Amino acid sequence: MSEETNMSAHKARNGAPLFEINMNDPKTTAPSDLITDIYVPLK
């Protein structure tokens, strides 16, 4: 995935939204230290 990917704009095959949670602040954290949880609903 590229850095520009906005997961909230995508939908899973079953129509449920994908979403992400930033575990640290991208404004104050170095890109190499960023932690993001990406949630994909499963059937």
Confidence (pLDDT) at 16? 80
Confidence (pLDDT) at 43? 72
pTM (whole model) above 0.95: no
**Residue 5, token pair as written in the block:** 């990917």
Q: Which residues of the chain have pLDDT under 70?
A: 1-13
For residue 6, give every residue at least 6 positions away whose Cβ sits within 8 Å of its Cβ, in sequence order, or none: none
Confidence (pLDDT) at 27? 96
